[in-house]
């Protein structure tokens, strides 16, 4: 199946994790991909795609800086003649400090990258996508943006904003044939969560990672990337303004004492 043959695609945060997995899958399905990231490692993503016979260009950007986002969109149009898909995936965690211990400079930076970044992606990508007849914008939010308990106040607030941005953008792009949706990952093994996974492995506690969701495990980047690809594809042609939780079922319930499969709850 090649859902993205000759389509022009931008993926931010493409140096690792969900972004790298998505860029690789887009290219494997025929897409021509601009791999964008702040990290120099983004070139390795593009090179791996080219080595596999795909088309990819790496560019270093600050996803929360308007000039960089505008330049990346212009690069896609210049190199590939159009833009079909924008996957605004770049983000930072901002640590786990509570409201009272969070420095204003930190929350400002988290909001700049995690919320202003997707806003700029919509602002600059939507016009060229609409110009060539329509396409899709996918934003990476988080289950932390749905309700409390999955991230710091700064991170959670930024991701709640991304969810609303997807809804608001879909409405403001009415008639353009540009769809805007968000994915809401649960705990996923990426560069951002590497310290958690490294600690669990060193401590021999991997069985506890992701234990709060019904699937009792964390996700791999490809599992999130596949949902992003679905939302970007014509398979999701009537999905618009939605935030899709991809979290093993974590957000389907408020925290409770869960009954073990085949056992009586205590």
Q: How confident is the model at residue 266 (pLDDT cuts 50, 70, 90)?
A: very low
Q: Percentage of the chain surpassing pLDDT 90?
A: 75
pLDDT number for residue 264: 56
Mean local confidence (pLDDT), 9-16: 98
Chain segment 177-221, per-residue pLDDT in tens: 999 999 999 988 776 766 666 655 676 666 666 677 888 888 899
Produce one character per residue of 172-204: b if its CB has 16 or more CB atoms within 10 Å, e if not.
ebeebebbbbbbbbbbbbbbbbeeebeebeeee
Residue 254 has pLDDT above 90, yes or no: no
Domain assignments of the chain as residue spans, ordered by start: 8-189+220-243
Residue 258 has pLDDT above 80, yes or no: no
CA–CA dist 68, 36 (Å, integer): 10
CA–CA dist 37, 192 (Å, integer): 14
Residue 151 has pLDDT above 90, yes or no: no
pLDDT number for residue 207: 66
Residue 37 has pLDDT above 90, yes or no: yes
pLDDT number for residue 96: 83
Return the CATH architecture of domain 8-189+220-243: 3-Layer(aba) Sandwich (3.40)
pLDDT number for residue 209: 63
Task: Give this prediction's pTM.
Answer: 0.91
Residue 63 has pLDDT above 80, yes or no: yes
Q: Report, as residue numbers or ranges, the catalytic residues.
A: 155
Number of other CB atoms surrounding residue 148 within 10 Å: 10
Average pLDDT over the chain reads 91
pLDDT number for residue 39: 96
Q: Percentage of the chain surpassing pLDDT 70?
A: 88
């Amino acid at each position: 199946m090649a859902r993205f043959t000759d389509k022009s695609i931008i993926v931010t945060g493409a140096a690792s994790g969900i972004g790298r997995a998505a860029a690789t899958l887009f290219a494997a399905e025929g897409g021509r991909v601009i791999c964008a990231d702040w990290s120099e490692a983004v070139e390795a993503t593009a090179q791996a795609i080219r080595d596999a016979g795909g088309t990819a260009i790496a560019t270093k950007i600050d996803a929360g800086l308007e000039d960089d986002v505008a330049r990346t969109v212009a690069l896609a149009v210049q190199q590939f003649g159009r833009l079909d898909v924008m996957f605004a995936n770049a983000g930072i965690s901002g640590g786990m400090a509570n409201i009272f211990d969070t420095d204003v400079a930190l929350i400002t930076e988290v909001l700049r990258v995690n919320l202003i970044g997707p806003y700029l992606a919509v602002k600059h990508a939507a016009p060229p996508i609409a110009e060539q007849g329509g396409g899709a914008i996918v934003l990476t939010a988080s289950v932390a943006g749905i309700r409390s308990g999955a991230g710091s106040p700064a991170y959670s607030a930024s991701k709640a904003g991304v969810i609303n941005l997807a809804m608001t953008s879909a409405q403001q792009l009415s008639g353009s044939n540009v769809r805007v949706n968000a994915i809401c990952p649960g705990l996923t093994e990426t560069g951002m969560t590497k310290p958690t996974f490294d600690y669990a492995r060193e401590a021999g506690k991997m069985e506890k990672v992701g234990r709060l969701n019904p699937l009792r495990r964390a996700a791999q980047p490809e599992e999130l990337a596949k949902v992003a690809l679905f939302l970007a594809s014509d398979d999701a042609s009537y999905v618009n303004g939605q935030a899709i939780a991809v979290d093993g079922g974590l957000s389907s319930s408020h925290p409770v004492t869960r009954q073990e499969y085949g056992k009586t709850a205590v």
